[in-house]
Amino acid sequence: MSYEEAPDHDHDEDFKALEASFERGEPFVILTDNAPAEDHEHSHEEKKRTALWLKKHKTELRTLVRAMIVVEPNSAKRMAFKPFGLAFGKLWGFPMKLASSREEAMEIADKLLSEHAGASTA
């Protein structure tokens, strides 16, 4: 997933991609190489659309998305994201994890997904 805010970025496409992942019915993680900007201001319409979408998909978000893993090589930036990650988790219903590299992110993802696989076979 990318959080780059290009003027022509279509958030509906992001929502459709998540919905397609929900339809598979399998747990997954979201991996991004660029973190959501804390200071990005959403329009009233964007906030409303997102709130409605979150409400509609609350169950899937809480049961299928294990985490969003943000790859951030800079340790100071990773530390700065921790408070934002708490608010993010409350809003979206799944935690934000931070990794220093893509390799570390994949290790976190493997662990989160294998924990689910072990729990579902027990």
26 contact partners, CB below 8 Å, separation of at least 6: 64
Report the half-sphere exposure of 105 (CA within 13 A, side-chain side): 21
Confidence (pLDDT) at 121: 47
Confidence (pLDDT) at 85: 87
Confidence (pLDDT) at 105: 97
Pairwise CA distance, residues 92 & 114, whole Å: 22
Q: Are 61 and 94 in contact (CB under 8 A)?
A: yes
Confidence (pLDDT) at 93: 93
Q: Tokens 């019915």 belong to which residue?
A: 25
Confidence (pLDDT) at 39: 57
Q: Provide the whole-model pTM.
A: 0.81
User: Nearest Cα to 98, choosing from 5, 33, 38?
Assistant: 33
Q: Tokens 């299928």 belong to which residue?
A: 64
Q: Which residues of the chain have pLDDT under 50?
A: 2, 121-122
Confidence (pLDDT) at 66: 96
Confidence (pLDDT) at 84: 85
Confidence (pLDDT) at 69: 95
